[in-house]
Structure 1
Amino acid sequence: MALYEHVFIARPDISPAQVESLTEELKTLIEEKGGKVGKTEYWGLRNLAYRVHKHRKGHYGLIDIDANGDVLNELDRRQRLSDDIIRHMTVKVDAHTEEQSAILSKKDDRRRREQRR
């Protein structure tokens, strides 16, 4: 089994609670197929670099996965059929990190700077 990072973008008109339930559904799918899920992160509602299906924003999420190709194929198939997912991408990595991703650590740095002022 190999290590992957899976990032998805959900439609902006759904609530953050729905994004969390969508993440839970993806986790159960991965675990049912024999994969393992590491950390999951919700990055929030963010601006897109360009319009995707007439949307300018999207809810971003990250899932660390330890799985084989069959799990990824099923995950890809389900997300292509889902109406809530705008885009998704899976990238193979050498190792997972336990610390926060760069997106979340950047937000924390901004908050610390604002608190100092």
Structure 2
Amino acid sequence: MNQYETVFILTPVLSDDQMKEAVNKFRGILTDNGAEIINEENWGLKKLAYAIEKKSTGFYILMEFKAQPEVIKTLEVNFRRDEKVLRFLTIKMEKYAAEYAEKRRNNKSKKED
């Protein structure tokens, strides 16, 4: 299994419940296809660098997970079909990127304690 990181931007007109529902939908797609979710972060409502579909803000969500390569195609098809998703980007993490992400998570959890 490879380690991946995906960031997607949801439309800002969603309520908190609708946003959580969308995130749960994509988390479910991953887990139903055998992926192991390592980390999930809600970065909140942020200003976009440029307008997308006449929207200047969006909800940013980060997910780190381990999955087989076939799962990515299924996930991205669902991103494209969902009108709540403005943009998405999925990358395969190399060994050093995965180590850095783990250090970042550990430092973040220490600061919260």
**Equivalent residue, structure 2, for 1:29:** 29
**Equivalent residue, structure 2, for 1:57:** 57
**For structure 2, which runs of at least 5 residues remain unmatched after alignment?**
none
Matched residue count: 102
3-state secondary structure, aligned to 1:41: strand
Distance 1:54 1:16, change over 3 A: same
Identity of aligned residues (%): 28
CA deviations 1:6-57 (Å, max 9, x no partner) are 0000001002332222111111111111111111111111000001111100
Q: d(CA) in 1 for partners of 2:36 and 2:57?
A: 30
Q: d(CA) in 1 for partners of 2:104 and 2:43?
A: 14
After TM superposition, list the pairs within 5 Å mapping 1:1-117 onto structure 2: 1-93=1-93, 94=95, 95=98, 96-97=101-102, 99-100=104-105
Q: d(CA) in 2 for partners of 1:59 and 1:98?
A: 25
Q: d(CA) in 2 for partners of 1:26 and 1:97?
A: 22
**For structure 1, which runs of at least 5 residues remain unmatched after alignment?**
109-117
Q: d(CA) in 1 for partners of 2:8 and 2:34?
A: 21
Q: TM-score, with normalisation over the residues of structure 1?
A: 0.80
Larger relative helix fraction = 2
Q: Is the 8 A contact 1:39 1:98 kept in 2?
A: no
**Equivalent residue, structure 2, for 1:114:** none
- What is the Cα deviation at residue 98 of structure 1? 6.1
Q: d(CA) in 1 for partners of 2:86 and 2:17?
A: 17
Q: d(CA) in 2 for partners of 1:55 and 1:63?
A: 23
Q: TM-score, with normalisation over the residues of structure 2?
A: 0.82
Detail structure 1 runs of 4+ shifted over 4 Å in the superposition: none
